[in-house]
Amino acid sequence: MDKRIRRVKMIMLTLMLLLISSSIYATPDPATWTRKIFIGHDENFYYCLSIERQYPRSYHEYTDFAFFSKYSNNGTLTEKILLREIEHFQEDANPPWLHKEQIKDPMNLESLLIKNNLFYDFPSDELNGYNISFEEKGIFIEGGKKKVLLINANDLGDYINYYENEVGWNMKLVEYYEGEGYFYFITQYGLSWGDTDFCQTIIPISSSIIRKAEETLRINTDSH
């Protein structure tokens, strides 16, 4: 009798552990995705459309936000206006996906651009002869067999939290824009899975730093 009871208890314990394990794996971690669409710049600021996707602890719902964002050239966010909020969800955890707009009368993006006397920028090809690399010590520009540091890891902490930890997460340069006094680099890192963070961020780097690095690379190249 004791053996039978022990056996039943072991079976029940095993089933409980399986249920706990399956519930853990069935519940995803919360995650945030961020996309930056560069619009343009003026002498002191740059502007972008920021799209943010918030995943809760569920595979069956998420919310998208769209913001008009204004940054100073040191990367400080000075204005952030909500343009759109959309809830995406499945009823009873089954298809199809349903969508609910939360803002019925959104602010007009073009009106904001006109208000800020803002024009459109297009990606630059000014630095296409070089390679932009991401390393633990910071962002480098490379030409030939030489490379020059553009911004160190400590300063990158103002734009990317724990930069050194993110370098291995598929970090890459998406595109860049050339302004009057700055270059604006759109950097992407993370994984586009529902339960992991995925991020694009804009890193402004002074044009004087870029030109000085180019000159250093040219001198090193010409001397060999």
Residues 125 and 190: their CA atoms lie apart, in Å, by 25
Q: Exposed, middle or buried: residue 214 (CB in 10 Å: 0-12, 13-18, 19+)?
A: middle
Which residues, 6 or more positions from 153, have their beta carbon under 8 angstroms from its beta carbon? Answer: 136, 137, 138, 163, 164
In this prediction, residue 198 carries a pLDDT of 92
For residue 61, what are its two tokens?
């719902």
Q: What pLDDT does 10 receive? A: 55
Pairing outcome for strands 146-152 and 45-55: unpaired
pLDDT of the residue at 35: 97
The confidence score (pLDDT) of residue 222 equals 55
The pLDDT value recorded for residue 6 is 52
- DSSP secondary structure letter of residue 56: -
Beta strands in the chain (DSSP E): 31-41, 45-55, 61-72, 77-89, 98-101, 131-135, 138-143, 146-152, 172-178, 182-190, 198-206
| Bridge-based pairing state of the strands 182-190 and 198-206 | antiparallel
pLDDT per residue, tens digit, the chain (224 aa), is 455 545 534 545 444 444 444 444 467 889 999 999 999 999 999 999 999 999 998 888 999 999 999 999 999 999 999 999 999 999 887 789 999 999 999 899 999 999 999 999 999 999 999 999 999 999 999 998 899 999 999 999 889 988 887 886 789 999 999 998 999 999 999 887 778 889 999 999 999 999 999 999 987 655 44
pLDDT of residue 51: 97
